[in-house]
Chains A and B, each alone.
Chain A
């Protein structure tokens, strides 16, 4: 899988005139990568993710997936939204299986896949629970399982842990990292939490606003098998400092952009 954005611009027409949400975005995601995008509010992170998902179209420029231009949403690009968008009238099981149902997969095979992915996200106990009976972290796991059950080529996540408390967020971060390694999936995740971006990503796009731009592409060279203890490591701190400086408009000569 090779996903790329080529000279992407996105303009919105608002009542105050036109607004440049994204300016000259060039980025790529390769098979098996965990790519992060971090930026301040309004830097166009969500817009970028929606463009990749096909929920918006670029004003100019192209999004390409394996050479073919993205023209609309599809099951090859799974999306996890911030606000747990589960179907409230469906149980956890039916939520996870819904994508498969939409694609016309037979109930028998669907049941097997649903069971598998509920196990993957550790929610086998909650098969028949309705979304309103699940905690925020659990809802987000159902949403992740629902997206993964369709076997997408890339999983797009827009601040998936933004609404969670600190402890749940930390455990969800370890969970998604472990999932990524175990399943060999490709993930593109958006966050405004610098620490989260460094902790999870192999590569981070640092975005700034007005207009939304990629300031820097940063490779994170930390051991693949990480847990939260790595956050005390000095290299980790260095990466964090670089990004924080970039976001606050200070440039640093020591940055290791590539």
Chain B
């Protein structure tokens, strides 16, 4: 591995300063499961890395607050899959966290890192989109809060500017009776990236939301407030969903296969989400 410098700040203020280097040559390090791969294969060549794991304000806590659930930036995916509160209220997010990499990877990989890495195939992002999650960002010029939908701009690109750090991911409490489910397709069961991933959420009034991953330059959200996907116009609705995607052909699957599978996974996750919800389809 190429040499770089390392810093281990214990406060956000120190980290802002370190990460604000104007040349952009300083990278934040969380679990390192994306960053170390990039450092090893030379895809990124930072002058220095700043370890976020000792920063108090990013503590790995998953906390139920009034009308929301907050997940600290240093929380790893194994914590998400073990969390009683998340399993009860956000089962589709837990399902998506549970398929990332392997046990070893989930012991290190953070939810914030999965989001900040901004891969089109990041598995937890479709679920964060469907649950309407927000990202709390702090930086040299203060705090701001953006929706996950507005956070990821494209492959490896987010709204974060120099020195900014994600501190918390906030999920609003789903309305009672909400059901949601996640599914993905891979070539093999273990340690593989998604060909396609879908999270579907159905609320008690019948609003249906789909979060889709790996079929566009970034994961994206499609809302269907009239529950048209379960009406007589369902076929048109699914066609509209497919039309929003722009899948590519790569080593994992072809454009055509991905496109064909969107409807399949959308139908499956919709059926599972309805099953988990209190909504009775007309």
- Asked whether A and B interact, the reply is no
